[in-house]
Amino acid sequence: MENKNNAVSEFDRITGAIEKLTTSEWNRLHKAARSFLFGTGFSDVDELVNETFCRTLNGTRNWRVDVPFVTFIINAMKSVADGDRKLIYKDEEVLATDLPNNDPDSDNDPLERFGNNALSPETIIATEIDRALAEEDLKIIEEYFKRDEAVEWVLIGIEDEMSASEIIEMSGLTKTQYESARKKFLRGLDKLFPGRRPK
Amino acid sequence: MSSIKRTAADKFRALRKAVSDEILSMTDEEILVDTRNNGLDPDDIALTMKSKAMDMIANIRKQKLKSIRENLNAAQPKPIKPIITLSLEEKKKKILEFFAKPNTNYSLAFRNGDRQSESDWESLWDDIVEQGLLDDEISEN
């Protein structure tokens, strides 16, 4: 169980790692963040990176010692971009042990949190906006690569979570053609995103 | 291929996973060349991002300190108001004022003549206070 001292040292461990990031690591984070922006409500790289650092520093995400910091942050950014509503929803779950008066010293009533905002009109509207934005962004990407048949196959394959061999088999691409197209697409995605998306 | 209809959000999740794997597989040199090929300066990118992150860390530290300070303040017992006990003369005065009130239902009669000892006055004062007719202390305001 973590105590307050451990929480403080975790904060220092993460800030220490941020301070030590090298130029290439910052650029790697930048490229990843920019690639992740499609289909999200984040308007630019700074927003996504800051949100991720903030959640990490506040202890929402744990950095395992055996994972390189850049790998951890890129995965965390991906997760933030994917959307964390479900996790927030789980946090608000009320258990039998949370019933009021369970702790006579507490003046908090956990049942006040019951009826979370997952189905509130505001959330439903926000979800609809997110969905429309994701569909619009997906069209931009698909449209851009429409002229490149090999990349189109890669895109379809990734979207449907097909394996490399499945994509190669279906598309008739050689392994080299597939790898070249995959690299071109995945490394070029960030270039498609505008500098800053208007809110 | 999956037969389940996949939403745009599902497709983006899969795309981001592939992108992160690809970006993590790039060498440091490939990353720096890629930035330059995008018309950007890698040093500028690094400096700007680091500076913003450091500002954010400083803000979070300030908020944490503020929160700790507020918790400490909330945990400290509230100072008790100093209480001043009335002197015997003040007690006598209040007793006499109380019985002198025109609308009082109480009257004062001493058993042993007009002259009372200090302990008589103290005893009378205690009786009156016990019945809640007078307050035996004053708060310093």
**Residue A197: what pLDDT?**
64
Q: What is the mean pLDDT of residues B96-106?
A: 81
Q: Please give the C-alpha separations between residue A162 and each of A83, A153, A176, A186, B76, in angstroms, as whole numbers.
A: 23, 11, 17, 15, 61
Angle at A161 between CA A157 and CA A167, to 5 degrees: 35
Interface residue of A5, A10, A21, A24 to substitute, partner B, most B CBs within 10 Å: A24
Q: Is A171 on the interface with B (CB under 8 A)?
A: no
Nearest chain B residue (CA) to A157: B1
**Residue A104: what pLDDT?**
45
Task: Round to whole Å and give the CA distance between A26 and B42.
Answer: 8
Element (H, E) at B138: strand B137-139
Pick the more confident residue, B99 or B41. Answer: B41
The two tokens of residue A199 are 């809110």
If 0-12 CB within 10 Å is exposed, 13-18 middle and 19+ buried, where does residue A122 land?
exposed
* Cβ-defined contact of A134 to B8 (cutoff 8 Å): yes
Element (H, E) at B141: none
CB distance B13 to A83 below 8 Å: no
**Residue A88: what pLDDT?**
31
* Cβ-defined contact of B56 to A186 (cutoff 8 Å): no
**How many beta-carbon pairs below 8 A join chains A and B?**
144
Element (H, E) at A15: helix A4-19
For chain B, what percent of residues have pLDDT higher than 90? 34
Does position B55 have pLDDT exceeding 80, yes or no? yes
DSSP A98: G
Instruction: Encode pLDDT of B59-87 as tens digits.
Output: 988 888 888 888 888 887 766 665 667 88
Q: Is B72 on the interface with A (CB under 8 A)?
A: no
CB distance A40 to B59 below 8 Å: no
Note the Cα B132 to chain centre separation in Å: 35
ipTM given for this complex = 0.74
**Residue A193: what pLDDT?**
77
**DSSP states of A150-189:** HHHHHHHHHHTT--HHHHHHHH---HHHHHHHHHHHHHHH
Looking at this protein, which amino acid is placed at residue A137? D
**Residue A8: what pLDDT?**
53
Instruction: List average pLDDT for each run of 10 residues in chain A, which is 199 residues long.
Output: 56 94 98 93 90 88 90 95 53 42 46 50 70 87 89 93 94 95 92 69
Does position B112 have pLDDT exceeding 90, yes or no? no
**Mean pLDDT for chain B?**
84
**Residue B120: what pLDDT?**
83
Mutual angle of helices A175-192 and A149-159, in 10-degree steps: 80
Least Cα distance to A181 among B18, B65, B1, B137 occurs for B18
Closest CA of chain A from B128, distance in Å: 38
Neighbours of B56 (CB within 10 A): 18
Q: What is the mean pLDDT of residues B11-15?
A: 92
Enter the pTM of the model. 0.66
